[in-house]
A and B are shown apart, each in its own frame.
Chain A
């Protein structure tokens, strides 16, 4: 068993980054995730593992620093919250277009605009449908606990390198700020120069040696036919994600007549709602997508043919509900319940909505 600690979600991101052998972090302060960089700076990992930590002048700069460093085949990351992620949209599109691996953490707060520093899930569309320009997708992981905040950093890097694609950890202010018990991984060494060369030597900008032609990190292509091929290659990659890396959790879905669909901290609230509803004799289950892209289509499709209805619970105006509807395709009812502006619904409130919208009371 690894070391156990009581930690804040944001602090654990920093701890996990150091422990998984991350090479560099570039960021800019924003509530509710500033503790990520603060923890890193306090720990001074450049003196221990050699990890680089740099406070940039903006989120635009931090994501482009990530672009440069990721192009060197190094395992680098950034973190921010909603308004900062909007600024990063340009760089994220370039990173996806140039097929570079990296991890981006979004500890969401409410919007639009400057919005609120309170938690939110209103960046679901931004994370899963683009955010930047062009046909690209991020692989999006949605942690629902401090433990998952920890686990998804290393997992994020593994997936980012598996696909040479940016991975986003889409958390929210609740998970970023709350403290829970977490089991920490043991310290892993950073990749050695030899490992970097072995793993990324076919594309990374490590310096052009006589024995190979130059490496160019770019998303630019002036020939439309080649550009279309590049796009097709990206799409094939996203399809492979759908085949191989869908992750989700189901709770009491086997006999369920109604299923709540919720991710992140909304799923934590729904877990309680399931319990409350079951106590009253309603057969309610919970499906928690862990990857928001690729979306868990299969389990939803399977449930759709035998349950009486789904209700998504989201801290937004109803975003994921459209993905559920697409999969369900009219086979059963799909409802949405949510709160906005940083308000978290109580389990009772969710139960009320469930009774009203689906079960009938």
Chain B
């Protein structure tokens, strides 16, 4: 044992460091279940904020959902919004302090059910905010009920026999709707189930925060995510299940890029 410790001492040196915890991530244990995507996405956001040097000008808006305590983990100022209202809260912050970088972090229930109106209208106004959307096809926090993005046939505590289209309607592809909104600047769908996917998601989040410095409309990053507790699977099974069942309905990739739409041609008072 002592021998191992001695050997490690030789290896753990600043010059050998290839990866470290972002200083923007607080030194606390996260409450997320092992295998949950939330923690990974938090880490990516913290890293991007650090890289861009915007810690002192970034305000986060946390949701009601498992990420309600996001404010305990990322070392920036936060406003904790009511369930679904994060885009409205973020609008208030950004409009009153336009020089700040403002982002929301929301689950599928928060963003695509109770907060659909706030989501669509904030983006349609082209609010200059970043929105991070954790789509895990379930209500994680409240114990695994059906979400708007729950798949047909998927078993949840409120669809114990599987989501039934006649009873529950269809899974909502809200990101596709959002990509149609003229106020959206950048809309992308990512995942964090492999190291490569994490790197891509990180790039997308970085791009969203970078673009948001230019105030060219809403930057929206969906992360197709796992909720192993809600799905009642272990983390490995969850990843496989997500790839097999969620990706076909929620394919990864960019849905819109290049800034919010021009108003030429449909504006009675050309600006």
Binding site for B on A (CB under 8 A): 23-24, 26, 52, 54, 56-58, 60-62, 64-72, 74, 76, 90-91, 94, 98, 205-210, 214-220
Contact of A24 among B61, B77, B81, B96 (CB under 8 A): B96
How far in angstroms is the closest Cβ of chain A from B227?
A: 20
Contact with A along B183-201 (1 / 0, CB 8 A): 0000000000000000000
Stretch of B36-44, B85-93, B137-145, B146-154 with 4 or more beta carbons under 8 angstroms from chain A: B85-93
Q: Which residue in chain A gives the minimum CB-CB distance to B61?
A: A68
User: A72–B80 contact, CB under 8 A?
Assistant: no
Q: For the side of the interface on B, what is the size category? A: 20 to 34
| B204 interfacial contact with A, CB 8 Å | no
Bound-state CA distance A147–B96 (Å) is: 28
Q: Which residue in chain B gives the minimum CB-CB distance to A46?
A: B95
User: A69–B118 contact, CB under 8 A?
Assistant: no
Contact of B117 among A61, A70, A72, A207 (CB under 8 A): A61
How far in angstroms is the closest Cβ of chain B from A266?
A: 34
Given that A64-B81, A65-B88, A69-B96 are contacting pairs, would A207 and B71 also be in contact in the complex, using a CB cutoff of 8 Å?
Answer: no
Residues of chain A within 8 A (CB-CB) of B75 are 208, 214
Residues of chain A within 8 A (CB-CB) of B175 are none
Given that A64-B85, A210-B56 are contacting pairs, would A218 and B91 also be in contact in the complex, using a CB cutoff of 8 Å?
Answer: no
25 contacts between A and B (CB under 8 A): A24-B96, A57-B117, A57-B118, A60-B85, A60-B117, A60-B118, A64-B81, A65-B88, A67-B79, A67-B92, A68-B88, A68-B90, A68-B92, A72-B59, A72-B92, A76-B92, A206-B77, A207-B58, A208-B75, A208-B77, A214-B75, A214-B77, A216-B79, A218-B80, A219-B80
User: A26–B78 contact, CB under 8 A?
Assistant: no
Contact with A along B65-101 (1 / 0, CB 8 A): 0001001000111111110010011111101110010
Task: List 9 other contacts, CB 8 Å, given A72-B96, A91-B82, A218-B78.
Answer: A24-B95, A57-B121, A61-B88, A64-B92, A69-B92, A72-B93, A76-B92, A216-B79, A220-B68
| B229 interfacial contact with A, CB 8 Å | no
Bound-state CA distance A237–B97 (Å) is: 29
Bound-state CA distance A76–B57 (Å) is: 21
Residues of chain A within 8 A (CB-CB) of B100 are 207
| B55 interfacial contact with A, CB 8 Å | yes
Q: Which residue in chain A gives the minimum CB-CB distance to B124?
A: A57
Residues of chain B within 8 A (CB-CB) of A216 are 71, 77-80
Bound-state CA distance A108–B259 (Å) is: 42
Bound-state CA distance A209–B57 (Å) is: 8
Residues of chain A within 8 A (CB-CB) of B93 are 68-69, 71-72, 205
